[in-house]
C-alpha cells in the first residue's frame, strides 16, 4: 500500500519542519505549505492528500478560513487543526465546522502520530463504507433489472402459450379463424379509448383472446354441426363459458381473464347467459368484449350472409345499447373513428404466419 500523503500547513517554518520530520520518520509522505493560500494553490494544482494538518492561527488566512474553503471540494480529506491552548474554543468551533480533530501545541511525537492514525483510519472506513453502499446499490439495480427482464420473458412465453391455445381452437372451429385475434384487437382499442390502465388492458386482452376456449370441450357433432342446433345442443354449447372459466381459473396469471371468459355472453340488461349478470356485475372487460364481438360478427362473412359495413355494425350496436351493451361503452365506441376497425382487420388478416399474431403486436404497442 502506498504511504499516505499529508499536507502540513503552518506559517512557522520550524514547526512545519519538525512535524514533517516526525511524519516522514513514521513513513508518511509529507508536503508543506507556509500559508493557507499556498495550501489552496497546492490542492488546486491537483496534488492529492489523504490528510491535512493545519495551524489554526496564521497570518494571511486562518485555519478555519482554509477549512471553510476546502471542505466542500475535498470532502474525503480530513483536516486536523493544530492549535495553542488559548484558542481551544476556536478549535472546537472548527470541529463543529467540519474539522476531524484538533491537536494541542506543544505535542509529543506519539500524540501526533496517534491523531494522524485515527484520522486516516476514520477516512478509510468512510470510503470503504461508501464503496460498499455504491456496490450494494449497483447490485440491487442490476438484480432489479434482471428480475424485470425475467418477468417480461415469462409473460411473453405465457402469451405464446395462449396463442397456441387459441390456434388449437381455430383448428376445431373454422368459423372462429382470425376471430379471436380481431376481437382481441377491437377489445383492446375500445379499452384504451375508455382509459383502462395498461396492465388491465393486458388482462382484458387475454380474456378476449381466450373467450371461446371452453369450446374445446364441446363435442364435434355440436360444435361443427352445419344446421340449426336442437334446444339441448344449445344448452350444451352454452356451457363453453363456464368450461372456459374452469380451464383458465386454475392458471394464476389468467384468473382475472377467466372472469371475462365466464361473463362474455352476458347482456347488460341481465338477459344473457350463463349467470344472467346485469350492468356492472359484468366485468368491464366482458362489457367491452361483447361490443367488439358484435362488431366482428357483423363485419365478417357468414355462410348465410356476406359481411356488412362498419356503419351497419355501429347502427346495430347503437340499437342494442342498454339491452345487450353497456351504454357508456357504446358511447366511447361510437366516438372512435370509423376507419380504425377496417384498418385493424386488414393488419390482422395480413399476418401470414399465425405466430406473428395480433395479440403480441397489439400488446407491444400497449
Which stretches of the chain bind Fe ion, using CB under 5 A?
A: 212
Residue 348, CB half-sphere, CA atoms under 13 Å: how many? 21
Between 170 and 212, CB nearer to Fe ion: 212
Instruction: Please state whether beta strands 101-105 and 51-55 pair in parallel, antiparallel, or not at all (unpaired).
Output: unpaired
Between 10 and 212, CB nearer to Fe ion: 212
Nearest to 304 by CA among 228, 235, 236: 228
Give the span between the Cα atoms of 145 and 141, in whole angstroms.
Answer: 6
Between 212 and 259, CB nearer to Fe ion: 212
Query: CB of residue 212 vs Fe ion: minimum separation in angstroms?
Result: 4
Between 173 and 212, CB nearer to Fe ion: 212
Residue 199, CB half-sphere, CA atoms under 13 Å: how many? 4
Q: How far is CA 108 from the centre of its chain?
A: 60
Between 116 and 169, CB nearer to Fe ion: 169
Between 56 and 243, CB nearer to Fe ion: 243
Between 55 and 212, CB nearer to Fe ion: 212
- Residue in the structure block whose three cell numbers are 355472453: 265
Query: CB of residue 150 vs Fe ion: minimum separation in angstroms?
Result: 34
Query: CB of residue 267 vs Fe ion: minimum separation in angstroms?
Result: 13
Provide the β-strand partners of residue 54. Answer: 9, 81
Provide the β-strand partners of residue 8. Answer: 32, 53
Q: What is the DSSP string of 188-227?
A: HHHHHHHT--HHHHHHHHHHHHTTTGGGGGS-HHHHT-SS
C-alpha cell at 174: 373454422
Strand order in the sheet with 5-9: 29-33, 5-9, 51-55, 79-84, 101-105
Query: CB of residue 237 vs Fe ion: minimum separation in angstroms?
Result: 9
Kindly report the backbone phi and psi dihedral angles of residue 236, in degrees, each rounded to the nearest multiple of 5, phi listed first. -60, -45
Query: CB of residue 207 vs Fe ion: minimum separation in angstroms?
Result: 12
Query: CB of residue 186 vs Fe ion: minimum separation in angstroms?
Result: 15
Nearest to 52 by CA among 104, 1, 102: 102
Residue number of the CB closest to Fe ion reads 212
Alpha carbon distances (Å) from 277 to 108, 144, 161, 241, 288? 92, 42, 30, 13, 15
Query: CB of residue 211 vs Fe ion: minimum separation in angstroms?
Result: 5
Query: CB of residue 334 vs Fe ion: minimum separation in angstroms?
Result: 24
Q: b/e string for 80-98 if b means 16 or more Cβ within 10 A?
A: bbbbeeebeebbeebeeee
Query: CB of residue 173 vs Fe ion: minimum separation in angstroms?
Result: 10
Provide the β-strand partners of residue 102. Answer: 81
Give the span between the Cα atoms of 159 and 184, in whole angstroms.
Answer: 13
Between 50 and 212, CB nearer to Fe ion: 212
Between 212 and 266, CB nearer to Fe ion: 212
Amino acid at each position: 500500500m502506498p504511504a499516505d500523503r499529508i499536507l502540513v500547513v503552518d506559517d512557522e517554518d520550524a514547526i512545519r519542519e519538525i512535524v514533517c520530520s516526525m511524519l516522514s520518520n513514521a513513513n508518511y509522505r509529507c508536503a508543506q505549505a507556509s500559508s493557507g493560500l499556498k495550501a489552496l494553490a497546492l490542492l488546486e494544482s491537483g496534488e492529492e492528500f489523504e490528510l491535512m494538518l493545519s495551524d489554526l492561527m496564521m497570518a494571511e488566512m486562518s485555519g478555519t478560513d482554509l477549512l471553510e474553503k476546502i471542505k466542500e471540494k475535498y470532502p474525503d480529506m480530513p483536516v486536523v487543526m493544530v492549535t495553542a491552548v488559548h484558542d481551544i474554543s476556536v478549535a472546537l468551533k472548527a470541529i463543529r465546522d467540519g474539522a476531524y480533530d484538533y491537536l494541542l501545541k506543544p505535542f509529543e511525537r506519539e500524540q501526533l502520530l496517534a491523531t494522524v492514525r485515527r484520522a486516516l483510519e476514520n477516512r478509510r472506513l468512510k470510503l470503504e463504507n461508501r464503496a460498499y453502499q455504491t456496490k450494494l446499490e449497483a447490485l440491487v439495480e442490476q438484480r432489479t433489472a434482471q428480475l424485470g427482464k425475467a418477468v417480461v420473458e415469462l409473460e411473453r412465453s405465457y402469451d405464446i402459450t395462449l396463442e397456441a391455445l387459441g390456434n388449437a381452437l381455430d383448428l376445431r372451429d373454422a368459423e372462429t379463424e382470425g376471430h379471436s385475434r380481431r376481437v382481441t384487437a377491437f377489445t383492446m382499442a375500445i379499452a384504451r379509448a375508455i382509459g383502462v390502465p395498461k396492465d388491465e388492458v393486458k388482462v382484458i386482452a387475454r380474456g378476449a383472446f381466450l373467450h371461446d376456449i371452453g369450446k374445446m370441450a364441446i363435442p364435434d357433432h355440436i360444435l361443427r354441426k352445419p344446421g340449426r342446433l336442437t334446444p339441448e345442443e344449445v344448452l350444451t354449447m352454452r356451457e363453453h363459458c363456464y368450461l372456459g372459466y374452469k380451464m383458465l381459473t386454475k392458471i394464476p396469471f389468467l384468473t382475472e381473464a377467466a372472469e371475462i371468459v365466464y361473463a362474455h355472453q352476458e347482456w347488460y340488461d341481465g338477459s344473457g347467459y350463463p349467470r344472467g349478470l346485469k350492468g356492472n356485475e359484468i366485468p368491464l372487460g366482458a362489457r367491452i368484449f361483447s361490443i367488439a364481438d358484435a362488431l366482428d360478427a357483423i363485419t365478417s362473412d357468414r355462410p348465410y350472409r356476406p359481411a356488412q359495413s362498419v356503419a351497419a355494425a355501429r347502427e346495430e350496436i347503437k340499437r342494442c345499447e342498454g339491452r345487450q351493451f353497456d351504454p357508456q361503452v357504446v358511447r366511447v365506441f361510437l366516438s372512435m373513428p370509423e376507419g380504425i376497425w377496417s384498418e385493424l382487420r386488414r393488419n390482422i388478416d395480413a399476418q401470414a404466419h399465425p405466430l406473428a399474431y395480433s395479440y403480441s403486436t397489439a400488446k407491444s404497442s400497449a
